[in-house]
Structure 1
Amino acid sequence: MADSTIITTENHVESSDSNGETHSGSITSVSNTSAVMIASLKAPEILEEYGPNLKLLDCNSQVAELLTIIRDKNTTRSDFKFYADRLIRLVIEESLNQLPYSDCRVETPTGATYDGLKYQAGNCGVSIIRSGEAMEQGLRDCCRSIRIGKILVESDADTHEARVVYARFPDDIASRQVLLMYPIMSTGNTVLQAVNVLKEHGVPESCIILSNLFCTPIAAKTVVGAFPKLKILTSELHPVAPNHFGQKYFGTD
């Protein structure tokens, strides 16, 4: 595939969204950047400072193109949702690879035996409302009967700090592996509150996998520093997060 052009021109933003996430960024413009150069930003030596539990999708040409389309201000809402769903599916599938598996043996229709793998019992998803709900269908497309809980985090009107105002989980969530779904991490504050609530409900930190599309280095350091046993799967580390994601995905921009 030919080199992809990344358009990341952003205005300075510093505000809190409906999830309580404080967004901050400066004017940035990157153009005519190849997938090779993008991949260099995700080299192992850079990831070392975030620890072994932060994992990035391999930045091949397909992923680079999806990231470019989602960030392009000229992308139509229909195309945006289509390509965002493609990226979500890739992130979800790689997140599922982080779950524990056990050996199993099955019999084929021809009577032969096959040694394979199966998920260990007890997986569920939890989406952080509202943008995290965009990732629910991608999870259901991979795991048809998986149960999904929800968390709503909002910014306090007086202190502007993120706080949990609603949480609904499966009754036995403490015994499950949890895929926490949140596509955009600018500061990490929303995720900190969500993980704290999961831990209060008995979920071990090591049993939580954060499925994320876009993450800033500041957010990654914040979350990894607070929860070193938490696993994070994201498609990109970039200082400017596409904070328009939720509005454009749901058609409220």
Structure 2
Amino acid sequence: MTTWTRPAIDAADITRYLGVNVFELPKLPGLIALHTEARDADTGQERFVRSTQRIIRLLLETALSHLEHRPRAVTTPTGRVFDGLAPAEPTLYAVSVPRAGDALESGLREIRPDARLGKILIQRDTTTKQPTLLFRKLPSDIAGNEVLLLDPTIATGGTLLTAVNELIAAGVEENRIVVVNVLTCPEAIATVLSRRPDLRIVTSHIDDTLTDEAFMSPGIGDFGDRFHGTLRRG
């Protein structure tokens, strides 16, 4: 049985990716306050959902700005011309990694209800930390298009790489994938981008490190369980 081995990296190793492949939301007080609320072990489901949905809204708007745009001039109510921009493609494609990714999917639906959505279900073994693909359903015409890949937490990077491999197998080019992520860590960034150097990752926070048990530190807990209210009690 192949087990996961914690990569030995220095957090400084990821600095070359920042602003090139990895785009972290500015650490403004409001965003840090939302993270504080979400990460608190005493925060229940309702407050967790409320705080993470606000983070997700900020994150999605930023991720959408990383997609290709083209010039668009419009006439304002004053009769003057505003030289603006519009999405280069009218159709938005996004793929979520359930269950945690469903939180990002619902947030995207509020912003872009016209988005064409796919799902890639991947299970990570609790002992080996290795990912297994269980299910894939993608829009039939996704090949060649820009795609938002919705994955709230990236710890070891194995699940994300599996999802990326499936998109590439479906005809999506690596440099046209924008990963939308709530929380990741230096080890995951180094692992993912050493294998897929043309990916772009938009994240709301990069944690300090990854523990020997493959949990992010300081972490947020199991995002899917906390968001959907399926934590074990007692």
Provide the TM-score with structure 2 as the length reference: 0.83
Deviation at 1:110, TM superposition (A): 6.1
Q: Distance in 2 between matches of 1:157 and 1:144?
A: 35
Equivalence for 1:139: 108
Equivalence for 1:91: 59
Question: Is 1:101–2:79 an aligned residue pair?
Answer: no
1:249 aligns with one of 206, 227, 230:
227
Amino acid at match of 1:90: L
Equivalence for 2:186: 217
Q: Distance in 2 between matches of 1:171 and 1:97?
A: 25
Q: Distance in 1 between matches of 2:50 and 2:162?
A: 30
Equivalence for 1:226: 195
CA contact (8 A) 1:192 1:223 kept: yes
Per-residue CA deviation, residues 18-75 of structure 1 (Å, 9 max, x unaligned), is xxxx798xxxxxxxxxxxxxxxxx9xx7752435211100000011111111110111
Equivalence for 1:126: 95
Change (3 A) 1:84 1:176: same
Amino acid at match of 1:248: R
Structure 1: segments with no counterpart, 5+ residues: 1-15, 17-21, 25-41
| 1:53-202 equivalence runs, <5 A | 53-108=21-76, 112-121=80-89, 122-155=91-124, 161-202=130-171
Instruction: Report runs of 4+ in structure 1 exceeding 4 Å deviation.
Output: 108-112, 156-160
CA contact (8 A) 2:123 2:131 kept: yes
Change (3 A) 1:220 1:252: same
Deviation at 1:209, TM superposition (A): 0.4
Amino acid at match of 1:152: L
Q: Distance in 2 between matches of 1:252 and 1:70?
A: 16
CA contact (8 A) 1:23 1:187 kept: no
Per-residue CA deviation, residues 176-217 of structure 1 (Å, 9 max, x unaligned), is 210000111110100000000000001000000000011021
Equivalence for 2:15: 48
Alpha-carbon RMSD: 2.5
Q: Distance in 2 between matches of 1:154 and 1:47?
A: 27
Deviation at 1:108, TM superposition (A): 4.2
